C-alpha cells in the first residue's frame, strides 16, 4: 500500500513537471526584438520619501540597452526614445502590468501588453524594466522585471522579477541581475568576454 502511494505520488509529480515544461519554452533570438529598457532610479534618504533621478534613469537605460545588445548580438532591437526618458508615473503604469500578470497567472490568463511595447514586425518583444534606490537609507536596492510579449496576441506571455540589495548606482549589479533574468527565457550563449568576468 505504501509503495503504491509513493509510486502514485511520483507519477503525479512527473505529469505535473511534464505539463509545466510544455507550457514554458525558451524564445529564440531570431523571433525576438529587444526594446529600450525603462529605468526608475530614485534617491532615498533616512525617511521614506524618494526623489526620482531622471538623468541617472536615462543613463542606466542607455548603458543597459548597449549591454543587452552586446550579449544578444543577433537579436533585432528598437530604440524607443520615449522609454529612455519615461516619467516615473508612466513607468509605474507600465510595470503595473507585471503585477496584474502575476495575479492573473493563477487563472492562466494573459494581460494586455502596454501598446508602446508591441512591435508588429516580429513575433516577440523582450522588455526590461528596472527600478531601484540609492542614498543613505537602508531601503536601497535594485528590482529587475522582465516581460516577453507575444506581438500577435498583444499580450504579456512571460514575466519574471529578481532583486538585490545593491544600490542602483552600481551599473554592474544592474547588468548582472538583468542577464540572469534573460538567461531563463531566451536561448543564447554569453559572449566570450562575459564568460571570463
pLDDT of res. 18: 38
Listed range (2-6, 23-27, 133-137, 149-153) with the worst mean pLDDT: 2-6
Q: How far apart are CA 35 and CA 127, in angstroms?
A: 6
pLDDT of res. 102: 58
Pick from 167, 165, 147: which is nearest to 157 by CA?
147
Pick from 55, 171, 78, 86: which is nearest to 126 by CA?
78
pLDDT at residue 87 above 50? yes
- Give the orientation angle of helix 171-185 with respect to helix 54-71, to 10 degrees: 50
* pLDDT per residue as tens digits for the range 129-163: 998 889 877 778 898 988 889 999 998 888 888 88
pLDDT category of residue 74 using cuts at 50, 70 and 90: confident
Question: Which ranges of 74-170 would DSSP assign to H, the alpha helix?
Answer: 81-84, 88-104
Mean pLDDT of all residues in the chain? Answer: 77
Average pLDDT of the segment spanning 64-85: 87
pLDDT of res. 98: 62
pLDDT of res. 48: 65
pLDDT of res. 170: 94
What's the DSSP call for residue 116? G
pLDDT at residue 188 above 60? yes
pLDDT at residue 59 above 50? yes
CA–CA–CA angle 110, 114, 115 (5° rounding):
115
Average pLDDT of the segment spanning 2-31: 52
pLDDT category of residue 13 using cuts at 50, 70 and 90: very low
Amino acid at each position: 500500500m505504501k509503495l503504491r502511494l509513493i509510486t502514485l505520488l511520483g507519477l503525479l509529480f512527473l505529469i505535473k513537471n511534464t505539463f509545466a515544461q510544455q507550457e514554458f519554452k525558451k524564445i529564440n533570438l531570431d523571433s525576438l526584438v529587444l526594446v529600450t529598457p525603462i529605468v526608475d532610479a530614485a534617491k532615498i534618504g533616512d525617511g521614506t520619501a524618494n526623489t526620482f533621478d531622471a538623468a541617472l534613469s536615462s543613463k542606466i537605460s542607455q548603458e543597459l540597452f548597449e549591454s543587452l545588445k552586446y550579449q544578444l548580438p543577433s537579436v533585432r532591437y528598437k530604440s524607443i526614445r520615449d522609454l529612455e526618458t519615461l516619467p516615473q508615473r508612466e513607468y509605474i503604469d507600465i510595470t503595473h502590468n507585471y503585477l496584474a500578470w502575476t495575479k492573473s497567472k493563477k487563472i492562466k490568463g494573459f494581460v494586455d501588453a502596454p501598446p508602446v511595447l508591441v512591435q508588429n514586425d516580429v513575433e516577440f518583444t523582450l522588455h526590461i524594466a528596472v527600478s531601484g534606490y540609492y542614498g543613505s537609507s537602508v531601503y536601497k536596492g535594485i528590482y529587475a522585471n522582465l516581460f516577453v510579449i507575444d506581438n500577435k496576441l498583444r499580450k504579456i506571455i512571460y514575466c519574471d522579477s529578481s532583486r538585490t540589495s545593491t544600490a542602483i548606482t552600481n551599473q554592474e549589479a544592474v547588468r548582472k541581475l538583468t542577464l540572469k533574468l534573460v538567461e531563463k527565457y531566451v536561448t543564447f550563449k554569453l559572449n566570450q568576454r562575459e564568460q571570463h568576468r
